[in-house]
A and B are shown apart, each in its own frame.
Chain A
Amino acid sequence: MGDMDRSVLTSQGFRPNRRQFLIGAAGVLGAGALMSSCGGSSSLSFGARTVDDGPTRQLKGLISAYEAASGNTVVYNATESNAFQNNLSQYLQGTPDDCFQWMAGYRMQFFAEQGLLTDISDVWDEIGDQFNDSYKIASTGLDGKQYFVPQSWYPWGLHFRKSMLAELGIDPDGIYNWDDFMGMLDGMKSKGLIGFAAGDKGGWEAMGTFDILNARINGYQYHVDLMAGREQWTDARTREVFTYWEQLVPYMNDNVLDLEWDGAMQLLLQRKAGAMLMGSWFGGNFLEQSQEDYDDLWIIPFPEINPEHARDTIDAPIDGFCVAANGENSDGGKDLIKFAGSKEGMQAMLDTGEPMTSANKNQDTSSYDAFQKQQLAVMEEAKYITQFLDRDTRPDFAGPVVGPAIQQWFRDPSSVDGILESLQEQWDALPPL
């Protein structure tokens, strides 16, 4: 703690003075309403990528802990996540918040390449030993410098209610491979339930199913190569993914294209569906309904299909923070991001009681509940981590091309060959990067 206080002073040695001078000058000029900050503190702004209650409580917990620890004041600005994402380019080129919430991997690297993010390698020098290597890789830009501090991650796995499996007499640990999985789906279907809840109205939800099927059938390397354009969408191996996917269709709800991710979650929450492939971020929604529902929620890795690859890959998108290059107080932003990534910052978020799995490897996980511990276990079984289709491939391909293609496939699964040909054609037509 003391270590950090000192670094606050040294890293901001000059800036606050200039800032205070400016504020003072503004005061003289008559803008007396400006609140002046006192002592060695400075003021900075934070941009949240959410307006939902739970995550907001969590972030505000982080901000107030930071304010208490540093004496700085933080202005908290929140934007709804889709709007934030759509406007990010403009936001970063305009007058962005000093520190803001964003995603790791390709999506961070793109903006780092454009010079819109601040290099925070010095922050990594200080807190880097608190993260596993995979997190460092995900936080590193194409130039080898770090631009991102991870906050949390969530695994994409098979979610279900323990009580519903118990009614079928199935042990969750017994669902290891595809046949076990099909057995479970048959069981659900025979009880008149939806086996596999799915929603793809948003166009991105089903990408997770593609990712995991491809990784299970063809392996991590093939998936990564396909995302990077080194393998073909028209390849028989890619086609195989849809052969398996089609086997799931009879167990799905009929209105896949009418439901967004939360619609699919409702099916599980209301006990109308047996299982769902989704990221574990929605624990809070179960908790909101009741503690009992939350305790009933469970996750296992997506079943093995090809023994050669077992269950070695998982989509586990990492969320975290960046410092904007055009922010007014980049040093302040860096200071905040360092606190956010530290054990103390993470603890402040965990203390709000909102479910979160910390990216910090030193985190005291004894306070984690059973569901969170299971998420850790699911994560640990995986050798390779992918981010998610729309974070692993070009943004002008994922959203405008792959999303609609999968929706088209749901509409008519027999048209798979034409869809894959079109996907490859559209990849080939992309402008050079």
Chain B
Amino acid sequence: MSVTTAGEPRSRRRRRLSSRGDRVTLGLFVGLPTFFHVLLVWLPAIATILLSFTFWTGINFSDITWAGFDNYDNIFFSTPAFYDALRNNAIWLGWFFLIATPLGVLLAYQIDREIRGHRFYQSAYYIPVVLSLAVTGIIWNFMLRPDGFVNGLLGRDIDNAVSFFGNYDINIYVIMVMASWRHIGYIMLLYLAGLKAVDPALREAAAIDGATEWETFRKVVLPTMRPVNIIIVVITMIESLRAFDMVYVIYGTSAGLPILGILVFQNIAGEGASMKGAAYAVILFVLSIGPIIAYLRQQFRQDVS
């Protein structure tokens, strides 16, 4: 807005002529949100980054001592759980990108084509989205725990129950199914909204030119959906990295399924917080923001060229 070029003296003058009241209003509209944004988002973020280089129990400010890179050294070289967590977050990300998100897109495409019963599918897939991840976790926990519904159906008692959450070889995939249950609906909804905005004339034209369904999707629909695609990629990335609620509902802070979000909480909450938790938070922050910035930059550069 402030990038007014020199060739626009009129608009500049008009702006200068705006009343005092307008300027106050404008100042408030821009200033207040900025103030709160800095206060509530950037200050804590910067404080977290600084604290990750200290030792502190989180209570008396006078107890803060400088730690240099000790917390990071501890995480990278002495904490095996960190690598387990990285692995699990990577699986989460991979699963969402390769399975959950494409499924959501596919569903949206099918529903948009108004296949039979599409309204029913739409609501059925959408329902999980209105539930928070914590509630999703509670529901699935009720289904899959040793004395839960599924083991009941299988006629198994707690002494010989199928171990969905306790078998560390498969539990990440059990959690992935649970998380996808919600994620697919979420992506479907976003994509559906985008698809509704695609001009049907484009498809008709493609059909007349003899394009197959797949070619139409890939060469006509997908490119017109670029803004939505960007949002979906970013959301999928953020959802996979910030994962916490569902795992916390099922495992608490125990190491049943280490992921970065849990490690942050485990080291900060409870008695005697450790700034190792802050260091985990910074690592998580860098991991999330890095690829997203890189991706967005690349996308915007393409837009410009």
Contact = CB atoms under 8 A, between A and B. Distances in A.
A384 B226 CA distance: 70
B256 A257 contact: yes
Nearest to B270: A86
A385 to B, nearest CB: 21
Interface of A: 82, 85-89, 93, 107, 110-111, 114-116, 194, 201-204, 253-259, 263, 266-267, 270, 272-273, 394-396, 399-400, 403-404, 407-408, 411, 422, 425-426, 428-429, 431-432
A91 B83 CA distance: 33
Contacts of B166: 201, 255-259
B45 interface: no
Given A257-B163, A257-B166, A429-B78, A400 B267 contact: yes
**Majority secondary structure of chain B interface residues (helix, strand, loop or mixed):** loop
Interface of B: 55, 57-60, 65, 67, 70-71, 73-74, 77-81, 145-147, 157-161, 163-168, 251-256, 258, 263, 266-267, 269-276
Contacts of B255: 203, 403-404, 407-408
Contacts of A411: 168
A400 B266 contact: yes
B138 to A, nearest CB: 14
B62 to A, nearest CB: 11
A425 B55 contact: no
B79 A89 contact: no
Contacts of A429: 70, 73-74, 77-79
B258 A394 contact: no
A116 B59 CA distance: 9
B272 A394 contact: yes
Nearest to B253: A399
A266 B147 contact: yes
A85 to B, nearest CB: 6
A85 B271 contact: yes
A202 B254 contact: yes
B267 A396 contact: yes
B57 A114 contact: yes
Given A116-B59, A201-B251, A259 B158 contact: yes
A396 B267 CA distance: 7
Contact of A399 (B80, B158, B266): B266
Nearest to B57: A114
Given A202-B252, A395-B270, A263 B168 contact: no
B146 A257 contact: no
B258 A404 contact: yes
Given A93-B59, A259-B166, A267-B159, A203 B78 contact: no
Contact of B271 (A88, A93, A194, A263): A88
A429 B168 CA distance: 27
A407 B254 contact: yes
Contact of A258 (B81, B163, B263): B163
B77 to A, nearest CB: 8
Contacts of B167: 257-258
A206 to B, nearest CB: 11
Contacts of A114: 57, 59-60
A404 B74 CA distance: 16
B165 A254 contact: no
B254 A194 contact: no
B285 to A, nearest CB: 20
B74 A273 contact: no
Contacts of A400: 81, 253, 263, 266-267, 274
A404 B254 contact: yes
Contacts of B256: 201, 203, 257, 407
6 contacts: A86-B253, A257-B163, A396-B274, A399-B270, A411-B168, A429-B70
A304 to B, nearest CB: 29
A-B pairs, 8 with minimum CB distance: A258-B166, A203-B254, A404-B255, A257-B166, A431-B55, A395-B272, A429-B78, A86-B269
A253 B159 contact: yes
B153 to A, nearest CB: 17
Given A89-B59, A255-B166, A400-B267, A426 B274 contact: no
Contacts of B263: 400
Nearest to B67: A431
B157 to A, nearest CB: 7
